Amino acid sequence: MFEPPEYLSPSSITTYRECPMKFKFSRIDRIVEPPTWHTHIGTFVHEVLEHFYQLDAEARTVEAVKAMATERWNTSEWEAQVTALEKPMGSIIDFKKTAFECMTNLWKIEDPQQTELINMEYELFTDVDGVRMKGYVDRFLYDDDDGKLIISDYKTGAIPNPKFKSEDEKYFQLLAYALMFESADQEETSKLQLLYLKHSANHEISVTPVKLAVARGVIVETKEAIDQACATEKFACNKTKLCDWCFHKSYCPAHQ
């Protein structure tokens, strides 16, 4: 019998629903996947924008984000981190160019001088219908129209093809955060934003009771399934084309 994780995160719930065996490798066996070119770009852009939005409003310019990128690059020794990647997808110059393009595309989505965030990289740790949940919210602010929360998430990758990911799946992480804010702080959420920096796109939806109910059901049902899988020590393998990009493929039972 396996011990279920102490808590779940929205991303770990998504992992289980995509492939229970992948969840086992990461959350039960605690096999840590090494960083990739794409995850490093995402982490670097998040780090820069987190510090950038701590500047006074009038100081939030393109020149300032460039200076902040240079400062964070040196402070966090990003060149050494990128150089250490097992499978780099370009040079250091390519990495910087891609990351900086994501940062400057922010101005095509919003005016940083007019965007006042309440908090960034905010930790939430609470129960949702008896399920212990933990997550880190990229950023949130108050909606000028109704005073409720707007939860935003930076994305530095491609926009998902709707043929392969439904709207509920696409926004599940943010809907889970909305439920967590409601549970922890009694704060209601009005809108969710996925900020696709690579494509200069803001995908936004309104939060409704129906969408929250669907997300709540996913959380509870997935927790029950994980507990059952831990009790029986049986984690199914969801074999798809995505397996070709899975870090665990070399030792996954589905590919032996």
**In this structure, are residues 23 and 16 in contact, taking their beta carbons and an 8 Å threshold?**
yes
- How many helices (H) and strands (E) the chain has is answered by 10, 5
Identify the CA nearest to 70 among candidates 106, 43, 100: 100
3-state secondary structure of 122: strand
Amino acid at 143: D
Identify the CA nearest to 20 among candidates 198, 229, 235: 235
Alpha-carbon gap, residue 81 to 83, rounded angstroms? 6
Global confidence as pTM: 0.93
| Dihedral sign (CA 217, 218, 223, 226) | positive
- pLDDT digit string (tens) for 27-76? 999 999 999 999 999 999 999 999 999 999 999 999 999 999 999 999 99
Of all residues in the chain, the percent with pLDDT exceeding 90 is 89
Of all residues in the chain, the percent with pLDDT exceeding 70 is 100
Mean pLDDT of the chain: 95
